[in-house]
Amino acid sequence: MLSIYTSAFILTLALVDKVLSSPCVVFDTDENLLAFGLGGKDWSAGTQDKWATTAGATDITTSGRPPFDGTGTACYLSQFSNAIYVTNGDKSNPSHIHVYDAAAKTWSTQQAPSNSGSESFDYASFDAILDHDTNVFYAVSHDVLYSLDFGSIETVASNSEISWVEMERIPFAEGYNPVMALAQNHIHFLGVPGLNPGAANIFVIHFDFFQPEPQSYPGSDNKNFPSSHGQAASFLQPTGKGVQQEFAFIPDDFSATYIVNVESNTTQVLAPPAIKDTAASYSAGIKALVQLDSKGAVSFLPYDQSNLSANRQAAWASVQPIAVSYPQSSPQPQPSPSPSPSSSGNIGGQGNVSGDTQGIPVARTLMAVLFQVMIATLSLL
């Protein structure tokens, strides 16, 4: 009977670890898709031409990595230096930002405590982007805009602390739940109260300036993206490591996947994710938008920046190498050739760590049930 108890205990630990983990997905400069913190390991699915294979992902787990147990862990690519920056990867040290050198496959840890200004940066509630050209983080926490300069960090953390710097209070209604998207060194704020559908408020990074008027991005077929909360991810450029020109917006209603082009001021309306999960996070490369849902399933929407017709026919599919290496209980994406409405909640966001994310409420219920199972097992001893 002891072996039964031991097996139940091991199963409990394994399931709790799986549900409480806070993984993230991100591309490196060479277009490899990396998934960190899945099943206590880190994986490379390789480039997009390998995502339909069943050979499995490459285990890139190494020493110095964060435990990926924080709330709302997020990964950001510094494209010029081919480095990945991880926020909220360690719940015991929320002010640590972990640096992964994608070429050397090594980790280092940067200490980035909150500033000592009139406001205090809250690691438990913020949304952020990493500016492509300056390597500076910009984040909104409790209605205040902050910056964190990683320009001198690049691929290896500094021995000295760097601090979040308070910039200004954002000019939006108090309590705005930020959705931040990066394109052309401009931060686009979506879902701002009072905005019309298909519009965004803009912060110009290089001039530290909020544009007084919103910018409209009309959608194809007269369908504009809703002015609501959701998730955003910026597409990389294929040549010269140029600045982003497009970003994806996935609203919480999953009405569609909206691709906004800030050069033409237009929006493509594409298929919504097959797995409709408001706790999912997203990352965009050059040729794909990737979703990581709250159960660990990784899927992608192929995308061609120069072929609008192909994009309209594209469907979401599973990233097979990760599915093989990290089996999970999420349903596999089914083809979804055209946008269809769906309803959902309002939790989640890459870098947005307010509220319960990454399956934490489920974990609490799971632990309670498994505890009762363990008690029942002990009664048999």
Do the beta carbons of residue 348 and residue 356 sit within 8 Å?
A: no
pLDDT digits (tens, 9 = 90+) for 11-57: 444 444 444 579 999 999 999 999 999 999 999 999 999 999 999 99
Nearest to 22 by CA among 371, 281, 344: 281
CA distance 322 to 299: 9
Domain ranges for the chain: 22-357
Q: Measure the CA angle with vertex 278, ends 203 and 358; round to 5°.
A: 100
Q: What angle do CA 317, 321, 325 make, to 5 degrees?
A: 125
The predicted pLDDT at position 15 comes to 42
Per-residue confidence (pLDDT) for residue 333, from 0 to 100? 61
Question: pLDDT per residue over 204-246, tens digit each?
Answer: 999 999 999 999 999 998 999 999 999 999 999 987 789 999 9
CATH class of the structural domain 22-357: mainly beta
Residue 315, number of CB atoms within 10 A of its CB: 15
The predicted pLDDT at position 332 comes to: 56
Which whole-number Å values give the CA distances from 299 to 53, 228, 235, 274, 323, in the listed order? 14, 23, 16, 9, 9
Q: Strand 215-216 and strand 230-234: pairing?
A: unpaired
DSSP string, 126-163: -EEEE-TTT-EEEEEETTEEEEEE-TTTTTS--SS---
Asked if residues 299 and 258 have their Cβ atoms less than 8 Å apart, the reply is no
Q: Identify whether the C-beta of residue 40 lies closer than 8 Å to the C-beta of residue 16.
A: no
Q: Taking the CA of residue 162 as centre, how many other CA atoms within 13 Å lie in the half-sphere pointing to its CB?
A: 16
- What pTM was computed for the model? 0.84
Residue numbers in the chain where pLDDT is lower than 50: 1-19, 329-330, 335-381
Residue 221 has a pLDDT of 87
Instruction: Give 287-339 as a DSSP string.
Output: SEEEEE-TTS-EEEEE--TT-HHHHHH---EE-HHHHHHS--SSPPP----S-
Length of the chain: 381
Give residues with Cβ within 8 angstroms of 262, minimum separation 6: 183, 184, 186, 188, 215, 217, 245, 246, 247
| Run of H or E including 200 | strand 199-204
Q: How far is Cα 89 from Cα 66, in angstroms, rounded to an integer?
A: 6
- Tens-digit pLDDT profile for residues 101-119: 999 999 999 999 877 555 6
